[in-house]
Structure 1
Amino acid sequence: MKKVVLSMALVAMMSVSFVSCKEKANEAETEVEATADEAANEMEETANEVEAEVEETADEAEAKMDSVSDEAHEEIHEDHAH
Structure 2
Amino acid sequence: MRKIVLAAAAAGAALTLAACSETAETAGDAADAVAADTEANMEAAGEAMEGAADATTEAAGDAMEATGEAMEGTADAAAETAEAAVEGEAAE
TM-score by length of structure 1 reads 0.71
- Percentage of identical aligned residues: 21
Q: Name 1:14's counterpart in structure 2.
A: 35
Q: Name 2:57's counterpart in structure 1.
A: 36
Does structure 1 residue 27 correspond to structure 2 residue 48?
yes
1:29-65 deviation line (CA, Å, top 9, x unaligned): 2112212211220121122011111111111101211
Give the Cα separation in 1 of the matches to 2:79 and 2:61: 27
Aligned partner letter, 1:65: V
Q: Name 1:78's counterpart in structure 2.
A: none
Give the Cα separation in 2 of the matches to 1:36 and 1:45: 14
Give the Cα separation in 2 of the matches to 1:31 and 1:7: 36
Give the Cα separation in 2 of the matches to 1:18 and 1:69: 76
Q: Name 2:7's counterpart in structure 1.
A: none
Please identify, of 49-58 and 35-44, the stretch whose mean Cα deviation from structure 2 is larger: 35-44
Give the Cα separation in 1 of the matches to 2:77 and 2:39: 56
Larger radius of gyration: 2
- Matched length: 71
Q: Secondary structure of the equivalent of 2:74?
A: helix
Q: What is the root-mean-square deviation of aligned Cα atoms in Å?
A: 1.7
